[in-house]
Amino acid sequence: MSKEFVHTSLLEELREVFIRGEVLPGQKVPERELCERFGVSRTPLREALKVLAAEGQVELLPNRGAMVPEMSLEVVE
């Protein structure tokens, strides 16, 4: 498999994790658990989280990982 395919596939899988509510708003993203689940190292997972952060789906916390942001009414509307 190409790196691009793995990256795209991982992004889709992570989006599904958040859509299904497996990680709720306000919760820290369980990086180790997700790495094991998807069979990837932390580097590709973190790269995917950076993309999702740019989309507003996660918030990156310096030296603490990533968290699913709380949704405000402004964002929902």
Distance CA(77)–CA(44), nearest Å, equals 32
| Contacts of residue 3, Cβ cutoff 8 Å, sequence gap at least 6 | none
Fold classification of 3-76 is Arc Repressor Mutant, subunit A (1.10.10)
61 SS3 class: strand
Q: What is the dihedral of CA 30, 70, 7, 40, to 10 degrees?
A: 0
Q: Hey, where are the domains in the chain?
A: 3-76
Distance CA(74)–CA(11), nearest Å, equals 25
pLDDT of residue 12: 94
Instruction: Specify the DSSP class assigned to residue 15.
Output: H
Confidence grade of residue 69 (pLDDT, cut at 50, 70, 90): very high
Q: What is the pTM of this model?
A: 0.81
pLDDT per residue over 18-67, tens digit each? 989 999 999 999 999 999 999 999 999 999 999 999 999 999 999 999 99
